[in-house]
Amino acid sequence: MNTYLFSYGTLQKQTVQKELFGRSLQGWPDVLNGYKAISIEIKDEAFLAKGEQKTQQIAVATNNESDSIKGTVFKLTEEELLNADKYEPEGYGRIKVKLSSGKEAWLYVAMKFLSV
């Protein structure tokens, strides 16, 4: 069974996709309204050991529809989604969101930043 994942960061990189999923993902541009992206410092050494930058963007709910994040929605299998879970830094989790296209997709957020 397939599911959707909205990415606005490192999962859009083909090198990351090939390492995690063994393939380049099929994706489409989309927008997440009611959120903004902020920079946070990552302290998860396992994530940083993968060569990722210490400062990453994270989605924060603002509940203001004029705030938005542009990104890509990807079609994944359930197994691929579990691989993505393992990739994300400590303290990140998945929530379901509705994108401007109407698609429901998973979104990774830092759990301490679920709202501002």
Higher-pLDDT residue of 37 and 1 is 37
Contacts of 69 (CB under 8 A, 6+ apart): 8, 31, 32, 35, 36, 37, 59
The predicted structure's pLDDT at residue 10: 82
**pLDDT score at 88:** 76
Alpha helical stretches, state H, the chain: 14-21, 45-48, 78-87
Q: Is the pLDDT confidence value at 116 over 60?
A: no
Percentage of residues in the chain with pLDDT exceeding 70? 80
Among the four given CATH numbers 3.20.20.150, 3.30.420.40, 3.10.490.10, 3.90.420.10, the one describing domain 2-113: 3.10.490.10
- For residue 57, what pLDDT is reported? 72
Q: What is the mean pLDDT of residues 83-108?
A: 89
Identify whether the C-beta of residue 2 lies closer than 8 Å to the C-beta of residue 76. yes
- 10/19 Cα distance (integer angstroms): 12
- What does the alpha-carbon distance between residue 46 and residue 111 come to, in Å, rounded to a whole number? 18
Q: Where are the domains of the chain?
A: 2-113
Q: What φ, ψ does residue 91 adopt, rounded to 5°? A: 90, -5
pTM over 0.75: yes
Q: Is the pLDDT of residue 79 over 80?
A: yes
